[in-house]
Structure 1
Amino acid sequence: MSTNIDNSRREFLRMTSLTAGGFLLGFNWLGNELKAAPVAINAALAGDVGFNSYISISADGIVTLFSPNPELGQNIMTSFPMIVAEELDADWSKVKVVQAALDTTKFERQLTGGSGAVPHSWMRLRKAGATARAMLVEAAAKRWNVPAGECIAENGFVIHAASGKKLGYGELAAEAATVPVPADVKLKDRKDFKLIGTAVRNVENQKIHTGKPLFGLDFYREGMMHAMIQRPTAFGLKLKSVDSAAAKAMPGIIDVVTFGNNVAVVGKSTWEVMKARKVLKVEYEKDGALESSADHDKLFHDLLDNGKATVQRKNGDVEAAFKNAAKIIKSEYQCPFLAHSPMEPMNFFAHVRADGVELVGPSQTPASARTAVSKLLNIAEDKITLQLTRLGGGFGRRLKFDYVTEAAELSSIIKAPVKVTWSKEDDMTGGSYRPAVRYRFEAALDSNGNMTGYRLRGVGINSGNPTRQDNFPSGAVDNLLIESVEHVSPITTGAWRAPITNFLAFAEQSFLDEVAQAAGKDPVEFRLNLLQKARTSPAGEIKYDIGRMEGVIKMAADKAGWGTKKGVYQGFSVYFSHRSYVAQVCEVAMEKGKPAVKKIYAVADCGEVVNLSGARQQVMGGVVDGYGHAMFGKLTFKDGETEQKNYNTYRLIRMKEIPEVEPYFVDNGIEPTGLGEPALPPTGGAVANAIFKATGRRIKNQPFNDDELFGGKRVKSTLKKERPG
């Protein structure tokens, strides 16, 4: 067992106030079956408890969960213990949670991404809580010499109603540790939930509000060095020469180190190295294409026409459908690169020693980061520990681990512990971006306005596959072709919140409104008719739940009073991503000749809602994120260099620009599905469709703020102005 994990566990045991009368229940995160082995805790055992993850009950009745997933604001450190406490029938005021260090032997899926934490751990956590509850009840029954079936657990106590006897969990902890672990336990019926589905405050609110050291930037180790790194100023350049004399002469500077294309300034404080980095004299030379956004526009058009395409899905006879169509609708949509721009810039601490490596900091993928460090330094993974801090945002940027490996490599060179900190400019100019993409859509309608053919070709820059070929309306159109074309660029890209669908949903849902208008049909009814077609006569495999999608569509239309309001213009959108379904209605009013977004209704079907407060924040935050970036977000390049380097030129939504967001949830009782990302994708489409209703102008490129409707320079060139239906 590594030293760091031992220390982490000892700190965990100390924080939970475990004494000789305590009870610790470990449960297996590596599979669906719960495997538990309780032990009484005392000083001799405290450092040697070999469980995979822990639910503990101390002698004073404190319940603690050792939580493995990184916390970046998605509220997992509140939702996880809520699930356990529900099945345990614990007193929530006595529930605590502790962040686990990386341990791939004991934990499965120890990462944050893909909106999958709660869906993955839901049953594991419930079984853990229910098992501990059953053992506490059994212990009480033995003490009272009554059948366990006559006893109930409630709010941290076991109660024997017939005699009126009552014992707290802390009083029973030692005896419960001697009870055999039941092979099977009964889980609660959801009608009996008392905690799940209620609004519970984030368990770390007080620490955040009072500035307690939680984040990577807060981490400090006595004797550590500080470093900042000068990286190539443009994608497609490599390091040629460095003159570091002036930097080395500045106060507090210990060394200037070159490795790969990086020049690291190492010193006694971040402020000192930041100032010294500014006087470095660094030359670069070309090492690839120096691409510009202006060139990408032409590139997109060329690749849409002539690029080598990969067929992602094909159903029916597409050529015949378009040849025989009564009407054809064709449209193109384009999005720019986006920065992740988390509030906390990248940072990480590394100490490479002769006997191993210690890593500390914020990561969405700690296991992958450790593996990368292992390969880079040729050090076995079992000699590398990684302690997670809270993340000050990620949105996909911290799925990558370049900032972790560079800290480890620098520590190995300088033979000392070092914390590498990025500036916001470093984040913006040397980061990993949402890919720029352009889509071409075509739809064929018959004489009755039915969509008989559908074609989509997507071109992405380092996007992988820029389509989601099995999402709606696939399966609802008899003749369908979806293709992708890829352009490989030196510009680094990666997952950005709701990868690909963050823009694709806007484009698809806007285009479906175009088709509905051409067919002379209401946009909501048009989508419902397509879903009914998918149900009764599917075209190929259906990989989305038709009923769940219909449910959010109807509920959103009902909550928003679709088509019944005066004084506002409504736009609709619905999307399936990360196993969940979200429908939105946006309301726009005309103010001083410009469309103004006033309100967005959002209906989510994410299965069981664990924490209503957290769920509402996820939906509202996703809507604001989706609207803000669709409206303002843009990162452009000139000769491989970003033209926006900080928030003064990279436009984000402002507080006064945030519309009212009214979230609702479908109560269907199914197990939880994703929620961290699904509310973002449909927002752009709902907003754009409402703007069209208000103005007759269909915005097809992001950001919307560049359009002449909002005072921008983008004008509609070859396409005639449309009229809303």
Structure 2
Amino acid sequence: MKNIVSPSFSRRSFIRTSALAGGGMLIGFNLFQACKPEATPPVDISQLNFNDFNAFIKIADNGMVTIFSPNPEIGQGVKTSMPMLIAEELDVLWENVHVVQGALDTKNFTRQVAGGSQSIRHGWEPLRQTGATAKQMLINAAAAKWGVDASECKTNNGVITNSKGEKLGYGEVVKEAANLQVPENVTLKDPKDFKIIGTDAYNVDIDKIITGKPLFGLDYKEDNMLIASVLRPPAFGKKLVDFDDTAAKAISGVNDVVKFGDKIAVLAKDTWTAMQGKKALNANWTSDSKLESTEEHNKILTDLLNGKEFKTLRADGDVKKAFAGADQVIERTYESPFLPHNCMEPMNFFADVTAEKVRLVGPIQTPARTASRVAELLERDVKDVSVEMTRMGGGFGRRLYGDFALEAAEISNLAKKPVKVVYSREDDMSAGIYRPSIKYKISASIKDGQITGYHLKEASVNTNMYGLIPNFFPAGAIENYQVDVAAYDSNITTGAWRAPYTNFLSFAEQSFFDELAEILEIDRIKLRLDLLQKVKGTTDERIQYSPERLEEVIKVAVEKSGWGNAKEGVFQGFSAYYCHNTHVAEVADVVLENDTPVVKKVTCVVDCGIVVNPLGARNQIEGGVIDGIGHAMYGDFSFKDGEPIDKNFNTYRLIRINETPVIETHFIENDIAPTGLGEPTLPPAGAAIANAIKAAKGIRLYKQPFVKHMKAKAPLG
């Protein structure tokens, strides 16, 4: 790993000042590879406000350090782990670090996004450069004060020492450091010297979370703020004809009723009154298009799979020829339902629209995109739109879209008052942006006991979904390989759901490989490892996974889980998958209780490169596995005449605490830069469970949720 790094930023974009209240030095820095080096700091740096930059370090005279975390925090832990990277290279004690959420800054930074499990991966080197550059400036200041060469000085936990044994704390030289030139080159630590990276760190917000201090969007309030509860069309495809708000306005505490588009907002001083006002509205609706039902979706997807209108994403060799010359062709179809996101914190957002500015505050995964959309909606200059980010009670892709923020901005603009839109759980589930219903058809040709062809077809609701990943396993491992996609447009809104592309595809493919192994009468682990051997040494730059790294997680999972040596009555299922730049293998242990499969344990092996915060990483891994199990086993969401059937947890089934298994986590230790972790352990979970259920019950599952479809199947033997 290279340790000498030339900063990828211009000196003008590296901001430092000692003119802070109480003294100290403020250091700002373009954090990401996609930064804008031409960005110019304010002319009068002494007037810097903490909201002017989305990520910087403040070093006080007493040596205490404040690090501003730039990215949205949705529970994935970046508000803790990203500052850890800076603190490591700055060489300070973690207990002397205070972390503050940064605000949106589109002028100087890009990718202030929580999505795709990419925050740490993109910030790994730039964030460390931030800390290392600040440290070198402090060293240079101390060296000048002592009259020695900077190379004679070392740092340790916020203290600089020279060869004579003299010491100075960071706080004693911050003023001098602020006046020095930014170093041309900085030295990054060798991983073996890490003191903070790789150690357990508690969530920086944990005390506030467990004591109920305000952190989340639902906590945010201002003295003159009104709460808006919005009545939306009751079904996808319906439009507002007219409404009567007499009864709503008669409720004590209701301040106003505002129509915008096909929606009606009731404004009140508190949430309860606003929601009661919404219930009192009398609205009439008409259908402007066909009202869709789940049965119709299933038929359309089946017709798509059997049709000819496909877009080919990758085609190696000649699949048709391989199938024509095969001894046997195996074909299976896999089906998944729509799924809501069901974040613990329902959607909400604050907006204060005035003639001078648009101020937005709330839980959002895409603050820059949201600011741009609000500016377009209100026909304002995006420079007049500010976004302050609160902590989020879950995102899972739902908070990528910002429709709730646009609602708040539009209502505030019409009402001429600061407004916070608050969804009820019913609002959250019936006005969602759902994981689309998808069907996969997977076919494989077998000749002389070998897999000679592989054809994967996807039929999905809506073309705005991301489609398949054509360059993941088994791409490159099978000579004749083809991936096709087809979709139809629905007025039911769909989009990213935790681990897009792969959350259901992993189950389909990994279940299919298990079944292929049975048909070929070979060991299922050997089948996968043999295929990986064919990818090693490939020159195909399209291949995104590492066969060596995937092979290692498989072998370690086999070892750690006791694969093949389970106790009597324990049935095991295996799955391995690559997504979000991370390689994962999982083994599920299932037992039968009253002839019902119960997941008791999941062994999870992860290669995500260097683990920044093992405590947070384990939490992410466990959460992903549990989420994957829960939705594969129970998640079911249907529509009738364009309206969601389930609107709250009394009918929509989530995994329960007594159904969560023991999760045993193992990391592959290496010095490779970190990769994603918020999503990669979810996709393999479904297949591991399904394969274990096959071992336990003799039932091969092709549809989710498993519990529903197990009841409709008889054991296969």
Task: Please indicate, yes or no, whether the TM-score normalized by the shorter chain is above 0.5.
Answer: yes
Counterpart-to-counterpart distance in 2, 1:229 and 1:164: 67
> 2-side partners of 1:35 and 1:56: how far apart?
21
Matches within 5 A, 1:15-414: 19-29=21-31, 31=33, 45-47=47-49, 53-160=55-162, 162-306=163-307, 308-414=309-415
Q: Which runs of 5+ in 1 are unaligned?
A: 1-12
CA-to-partner distance for each residue in 1:610-648, whole Å, 9 max, x for gaps?
A: 001111111111000101110111110111110100011
C-alpha contact (below 8 Å) 1:623/1:680 kept by paired residues:
yes
What secondary structure, in the 3-state scheme, does the structure 1 residue paired with 2:358 have?
Answer: strand
Task: Please state whether the residue corresponding to 1:535 is helix, strand or coil.
Answer: coil
Aligned mates of 1:282, 1:34 — CA distance in 2: 49
Conserved in 1, the CA contact under 8 Å of 2:584 and 2:684? yes
Task: Work out which of the residue numbers 685, 688, 712 in structure 2 matches 1:683.
Answer: 685
Match in the other structure for 2:702: 700
Amino acid at match of 2:666: Y
Shift in Å, 1:147: 2.6
Q: Which amino acid aligns with 2:257?
A: V
2:10 maps to which residue?
none
Secondary structure (helix, strand or coil) at the match of 2:251 reads: coil
SS at match of 2:628: helix
Deviation at 1:658, TM superposition (A): 0.1
Alignment correspondent of 2:649: 647
- Pair 1:98–1:674, CA change in 2 (3 A): same
CA distance in 1: counterparts of 2:623 and 2:680, whole angstroms: 11
2: CA distance, partners of 1:418 / 1:556: 51
Q: Is the 8 A contact 2:229 2:265 kept in 1?
A: yes
8 Å CA contact 2:617, 2:677 repeated in 1: yes
- Residues 353-502 of structure 1 aligned to structure 2 (within 5 Å): 353-447=354-448, 449-462=449-462, 464-502=465-503
Aligned counterparts of 2:21 and 2:272: Cα–Cα separation in 1: 45
SS of equivalent residue, structure 2 residue 280:
coil
CA apart distance, 1:45: 4.1
Question: What does the per-residue CA deviation read over 1:27-67, in whole Å, with 9 as the maximum and x for residues that have no partner?
Answer: 1235479989999xx99545499766311211111111122
CA shift at 1:590, angstroms? Answer: 2.0
CA pair 52-615 structure 1, distance change in 2 beyond 3 A: closer
Post-superposition offset of 1:141: 2.1
In the TM superposition, residue 243 of structure 1 has moved relative to its aligned partner by 1.2
CA displacement at 1:591 relative to structure 2? 2.1
Distance 2:136 2:295 in 1: 66
Q: State the distance in 2 between where 1:334 and 1:632 align.
A: 14
| Cα distance between partner residues in 2 of 1:540 and 1:257 | 55
Taking the aligned partners of 1:454 and 1:348, their CA distance within structure 2 comes to 47
The answer to whether 1:715 aligns with 2:682 is: no
Deviations 1:532-587 (A, max 9, x none): 12226788942321111111111111111221223221111111111111111111
Task: Decide whether the 8 Å contact of 1:624 with 1:658 is kept in 2.
Answer: yes
Q: CA, structure 1 residues 199+670, in 2 after alignment: closer, same or farther (shift >3 Å)?
A: same
The letter for the 1-side match of 2:255 is: I
Evaluate the alpha carbon distance shift between residue 276 and residue 307 of structure 1 in structure 2; reply closer, same or farther with a 3 A threshold: farther
* Contact 1:445/1:453 (8 A) holds in 2: yes
| Alpha-carbon offset, residue 18 of structure 1 | 5.1
Partner Cα distance (2:211, 2:169) in 1: 32
Contact 2:363 2:391 in 1 (8 A): yes
Aligned to 1:668: 670
- Render the CA deviation track for 1:46-102: whole Å, top value 9, x for unaligned: 549976631121111111112221111111111011111111110111111111111
Q: For the structure 1 residues 37 and 212, does the alpha-carbon distance in structure 2 shift closer, same or farther, using more than 3 Å as the test?
A: same
Provide the C-alpha distance between the structure 2 equivalents of 1:64 and 1:17, rounded to a whole number of angstroms: 16
> Equivalents in 2 of 1:36, 1:93: separation in Å?
35
Check whether the contact 1:27–1:34 (CA below 8 A) recurs between aligned residues.
no
* Deviations, residues 641-691 of structure 1 (Å, cap 9, x unaligned): 101000111111100000000111111211111111111111100111111
Deviation at 1:194, TM superposition (A): 0.9
Distance in 1 between residues matched to 2:479 and 2:125, nearest whole Å: 39
Letter paired with 1:443: A
Amino acid at match of 2:648: N
Equivalent pair of 1:26/1:37 in contact (CA under 8 Å): no
Q: Residue 256 and residue 30 in structure 1: after superposition, are their counterparts in 2 closer, same or farther (change >3 A)?
A: same
Instruction: State the one-letter code of the partner of 1:125.
Output: L
RMSD (Å) for aligned C-alpha atoms:
2.3
Q: Using the TM superposition, give the Cα deviation of residue 497 of structure 1 relative to its aligned residue in structure 2, in angstroms.
A: 0.3
- The letter for the 1-side match of 2:179 is T
1:610 aligns with 2:608: no
Q: Which amino acid in structure 1 is aligned with residue 288 of structure 2?
A: D
Equivalence map 1:576-655=2 (5 Å): 576-655=578-657
How far apart in 2 are the matches of 1:152 and 1:260? 63
| Partner SS for 1:278 | helix
Q: What secondary structure does 2:187 align onto? A: coil
2: distance between equivalents of 1:536 and 1:212? 54
On the 8 A contact 2:53/2:103 being kept in 1, the answer is no
- Structure 2 unaligned spans of 5+: 1-15
What is the one-letter code of the residue matched to 1:585? Answer: V
8 Å CA contact retained: 1:575, 1:583: yes
Pair 511,47 (structure 1): closer, same or farther in 2 beyond 3 Å: closer
Question: In the alignment, is the contact (CA less than 8 A) between 1:478 and 1:539 conserved in 2?
Answer: no
Instruction: Give distance in 2, aligned partners of 1:319 and 1:538.
Output: 25
CA distance in structure 1 between the aligned counterparts of 2:175 and 2:37, rounded to whole angstroms: 19
Shift of 1:296: 2.1
Counterpart CA distance in 2 for 1:542 and 1:414 is: 53
Contact 2:352 2:417 in 1 (8 A): yes
Pairs within 5 Å for 1:536-547: 541-547=542-548
Write the deviation string for residues 4-33 of structure 1: whole angstroms up to 9, x where unpaired: xxxxxxxxx9xx995453112221235479
**What is the CA–CA distance in structure 2 between the aligned matches of 1:200 and 1:61, rounded to whole Å?**
20
Structure 1 481/281 Cα, relative in aligned 2: closer, same or farther at 3 Å? same
Q: 1:38 to 1:559 in 2, by over 3 A?
A: farther
Q: Which amino acid aligns with 1:188?
A: K
> Distance in 2 between the 1:399 and 1:541 partners?
27
SS in 2 for 1:650: coil
Deviates more, 1:44-53 or 1:568-577: 44-53
Distance 1:402 1:490 in 2: 16
Q: Is the CA contact (8 Å cut-off) linking 2:53 and 2:105 kept in structure 1?
A: no
Question: Contact 1:34–1:127 at 8 Å: present in 2 too?
Answer: no
Tell me if structure 2 keeps the 8 A contact 1:465–1:486: no
1:178 offset after TM fit, Å? 2.5
Question: Structure 1 CA distance, aligned partners of 2:492 and 2:40?
Answer: 52
**Cα–Cα, structure 1 residues 500 and 37, in superposed 2: closer, same or farther, change >3 Å?**
closer
